[in-house]
Amino acid sequence: MTDLERYRDEIDEIDSEIVRLFEKRMKVSEEVAEYKIKTGKQVLDPARESQKIHTLKNKAHGDFNSLGVQELFRQIMAISRKRQYQLLTEHGIYGERNFTTVKHVPLENATVVFQGVEGAYSYAAMRQYFGKNIESYHVKTWRTAMEDVTHGKADYAVLPIENSTAGIVADIYDLLMEYKLYIVGEQIIRVDHVLLGMPDAELDDIKQVCSHPQALAQCGKYLEAHPGWKKKEMENTAGSAKRVKEDNDKTQAAIASRQAGELYGLKILAENICYNGQNATRFVIVSKKPIYVKDARKISIFFELPHESGTLYNMLSHIIYNGLNMTKIESRPIPGKSWEYRFFVDFTGKLGESAVENALRGIEAEANVLRVLGNY
């Protein structure tokens, strides 16, 4: 037997002993959980864990091993908490979510608000999701749309939340924090931008291009090929087409949809101007009512964390450990707290499922703030 084989055999024996002791510790942890359930105590006791880790790492020899022991027992304690959260769910103890299950999103006599004007992509998303048998109207800003739903003027708002080329619409994430509305659905619209001008305009006439900032970004490579054109930001794509029509100036062009061009009688000056041929925008449908359909499969949450090492990993581990698939994560700065962030996460699942409740319970216990934005 070589020295390497002997060392490996010795490590195998140690690892087997570690597994035995781990399972013994988990058994005791389950007994602790049962006691906490009976007495109503919280699973997480930060002071106790901090004291315990401090004691254990001081028993190690050398700085490297001390840090290793600290990380090892942080993970062991995190796994122990996850098992305790599972036991709470098995005992029928669920967190209060205040969500109601419905067969489908109520559409009867619904009023829907969207930002922009007819011909905008928000308008197309609304029509595709709701159909034509609704009352709808448009507003200038996303904030106004949120306000109208909050105060009952509209039942739903249609809001763009991310684009496959330009990324997230940051303002929407911030508004979801400011207003207590709930995501009840989503709609993905393929975005096919074209360059629109007056009927008598040619490409050589253009001096200024206007559109929404997202559309300008999505067509950035095309615009870079025309460095002499000025770029003007507008509130929405269809509104920029309307402006070109109203100004009746053949030196102006708009980046918008073909439908907007038809609506305002404009000429297509250029096609395929977005460098991403699969360009699409995801819209969310928000409501004042915390409802979710019975076949919902996606959950959106946000949370804020203690500003400490490893906290984001610990939060996400609750999703991973319960076998849930995280499909998205974004961060936004917390106002008034320099270099601190809140996180937005999407993952698969439905409220009420044990794996989902286990994950949410763990995040809720260990985060500073947790809010479920919707299940859809």
Encode pLDDT of 220-253 as tens digits: 999 999 999 999 999 889 999 999 999 999 999 9
Classify residue 231 by burial, with Cβ atoms within 10 Å: 0-12, 13-18, 19+: middle
DSSP letter assigned to residue 334: P
Two domains, one topology: 100-191+280-293 and 296-376: no
Residue-averaged pLDDT of the chain: 93
The one-letter amino acid code at 67 reads L
pTM above 0.75, yes or no: yes
Q: What whole-number distance in Å separates Cα of residue 48 and Cα of residue 194?
A: 62
Instruction: Tell me the per-residue pLDDT of 255-287, one tens digit each, with 9 for 90 and over.
Output: 999 989 999 999 999 999 988 778 899 999 999
Whether 2 is catalytic is no
| Domain positions in the chain | 15-93, 100-191+280-293, 194-270, 296-376
Whether 237 is catalytic is no
Domain 194-270 carries which CATH code? 3.40.190.10
- The third-level CATH classification (topology) of the domain covering 296-376 is Alpha-Beta Plaits (3.30.70)
- The third-level CATH classification (topology) of the domain covering 15-93 is Chorismate Mutase Domain, subunit A (1.20.59)
Q: What is the mean pLDDT of residues 165-172?
A: 91
Q: What whole-number distance in Å separates Cα of residue 93 and Cα of residue 229?
A: 62
For 16, phi and psi rounded to 5 degrees?
Answer: -60, -40
Beta bridge partners of 372: 301
Asked if 250 and 142 touch (Cβ cutoff 8 Å), the reply is no
Among the listed residues 89, 165, 281, 303, the single catalytic one is 281
Strand duo 280-287 + 208-211: pairing: unpaired
Q: CB under 8 Å to 91, separation ≥6 — which residues?
A: 37
Token reading at 95:
């967190």
Classify residue 145 by burial, with Cβ atoms within 10 Å: 0-12, 13-18, 19+: buried
Domain 100-191+280-293 carries which CATH code? 3.40.190.10
- Is 180's pLDDT higher than 80? yes
- Is 182's pLDDT higher than 80? yes
Q: What whole-number distance in Å separates Cα of residue 253 and Cα of residue 236?
A: 14
Among the listed residues 283, 303, 344, 347, the single catalytic one is 283
Instruction: Tell me the per-residue pLDDT of 23-76, one tens digit each, with 9 for 90 and over.
Output: 999 999 999 989 988 898 888 888 898 999 999 999 999 999 999 999 999 899
